Structure 1
């Protein structure tokens, strides 16, 4: 079994040694590590080599790595891909980490032809921010206010953009953390179109198992209880 969306970072609670031990105990034989939540973030060959050095004599299962797309690293991207990363991750909204800023359509237009050329996937966190009205700042422990602070329209708009660019560049694209029923519908329809690399939705299985009273842990994209069954049905069907 493979976990293709892992964040194992050295010198933190999720460091490579314990992360791979825990994965092995759960029957997972391969994990693929995300490029953020580590310092330096994996957006250059030098940073990638530092991460590889940090794993020496600490791995108990197979481990692969993603590289990152951020503003300003387009000239580093091909060398990073040739160094052996298995895919490229990007955010269309703030990642929560200043070292890993989000990209826009300009950067995607530059990067997607290169990613397609090397036949690896682009993993996109799909939210495009716009103004919202909510009281999350006043009620930071209220999950409904948290939902309102990240409306599904953000996700829907970002998915529209990625479908357009996926079609334009024929670039294999994974839409991560799908939480909007409308976005899932858009992706499903796009997969039926006649182009070689349709977008694919991704959702971490653990989040689909969460109950609403366990949702105090904030994640993005958010877990929307009303669409959980639709997303679960999609993965069971596909």
Structure 2
């Protein structure tokens, strides 16, 4: 199959310009001048920019076991509708958790034949599975997720310091990657428990110090073992100096943040608004603005959704009780326009946003065929109208609960191509191993 897609603005690794992208057998075979295209080329509208398909390396699909929370079919339809052509599925909230090769096979079997985007998988590092990390690595997971405190689900317990170091030592031998939910259990145990509808009370139950304490432990363990580590969903800007110092001394550590930490602020969260409950929590505006500055400065590496939906009942919308509600935000389909809306308001360009949401997650997950428009890459493309305004309404997610409902945003995804095929929600996605090798 051959196809040419051209636009007056194509976002290439060296900048935006008019170009024609030539596709053969699902890969980009050439990038030429705009006029160097056949008569049947697909030509974007003048208000559209051709972007590379985004990569979201932090998605909780929850299938099997909790498919009523989301599922591969609905999650990947939402992804391609939002310009995300590759998702990396988290190892927890599904049952079984992806902590053994056998569980990975179960996960892949559940996903096969129903994904609209390409899907890769994280493995899990939990107490007692050190001897299963290398087999999972060899089976093609892109890396390993761990928690440094209770995960919220019993089938995915946290690592203590000895377990963390044991896992890192095992992974260092194969240059594997460990990604960590970094909040400290001791700090949170000493804080007042959350209860009721007051957001201030929930915020106090998970203080910023919890992130800093856990990141300090992670840095020390990475330093001592030489392993690669990554901090997921950073909310506390006070941890940035720790991360900068660690990198300066050669610790191999990267960090991500999420659209909700770049959009909302604790001062603005109404009491009872449990759609905004997540862990770590959305912090004050000073953290939000510092995270934007850290992205611009290169101190935060990437932006991913941490799409973590559940059934509406579990969000306790009826009572608005932050102590009882499930912590997780659904945002997969709207991640690009949400981040772009915030970026353009701060004078940040589309190229930077795409770098954070396509190229950087592809590097983190070890998917070299993804993340940019370049010869040899998969022909994952997005027609994006950055100036069009719209209001968030019905989405492709399984459930409608999202804090972005009714929000006015800039940027509309009009078409998405996956390996040169129009991604319209049909199950054309592939399951990927680390390195981007298809199953």
96, 108, 112: which one aligns with 2:168: 112
Query: For 1:10-159, what aligned pairs fall within 5 Å after superposition?
Result: 10=63, 11-130=67-186, 131-134=189-192, 136-137=194-195, 140-159=196-215
Aligned to 1:5: 58
Name the stretch that deviates more: 197-206 or 1-10.
197-206
Cα gap change, 1:57 to 1:149, in 2 (>3 Å): same
- Does residue 261 of structure 2 align to residue 207 of structure 1? yes
**Structure 1 residue 135: deviation in Å?**
6.0
More helix by share: 1
**Structure 1 residue 27: deviation in Å?**
0.7
Cα gap change, 1:133 to 1:103, in 2 (>3 Å): closer
- Does residue 237 of structure 2 align to residue 181 of structure 1? yes
**Structure 1 residue 133: deviation in Å?**
4.3
- Does residue 252 of structure 2 align to residue 198 of structure 1? yes
Number of aligned residue pairs: give it: 234
Cα gap change, 1:21 to 1:132, in 2 (>3 Å): same
- Does residue 287 of structure 2 align to residue 227 of structure 1? yes
**Structure 1 residue 207: deviation in Å?**
3.5
Q: Distance in 2 between matches of 1:63 and 1:9?
A: 13
Aligned to 2:296: 236
**Structure 1 residue 237: deviation in Å?**
2.2
Q: Distance in 1 between matches of 2:279 and 2:69?
A: 20
**Structure 1 residue 183: deviation in Å?**
1.2
Q: Unmatched 5+ residue regions in structure 1?
A: none
Which TM-score applies when normalising by structure 1? Answer: 0.92
- What's the C-alpha RMSD, in Å, of the aligned pairs? 1.6
1:156-185 alpha-carbon deviations (Å, 9 max, x no partner): 111111111111112111111212222122
1:129-168 alpha-carbon deviations (Å, 9 max, x no partner): 224343633xx22111111111122211111111111111
Q: Distance in 1 between matches of 2:141 and 2:193?
A: 41
**Structure 1 residue 21: deviation in Å?**
0.9
Q: Distance in 2 between matches of 1:230 and 1:94?
A: 28
Q: Which runs of 4+ in 1 moved over 4 A?
A: none
Q: Distance in 1 between matches of 2:182 and 2:174?
A: 22
Which TM-score applies when normalising by structure 2? Answer: 0.51
Name the stretch that deviates more: 175-184 or 1-10.
175-184
State whether residues 184 and 201 of structure 1, in contact with CA within 8 Å, keep that contact through their aligned partners in structure 2: no
1:45-80 alpha-carbon deviations (Å, 9 max, x no partner): 111100000011111111110000111111211111
1:65-104 alpha-carbon deviations (Å, 9 max, x no partner): 0000111111211111111100100000000001101111
Name the stretch that deviates more: 124-133 or 32-41.
124-133
Q: Distance in 2 between matches of 1:88 and 1:21?
A: 25
1:92-138 alpha-carbon deviations (Å, 9 max, x no partner): 0000001101111111111102212222321111111224343633x
State whether residues 95 and 101 of structure 1, in contact with CA within 8 Å, keep that contact through their aligned partners in structure 2: yes
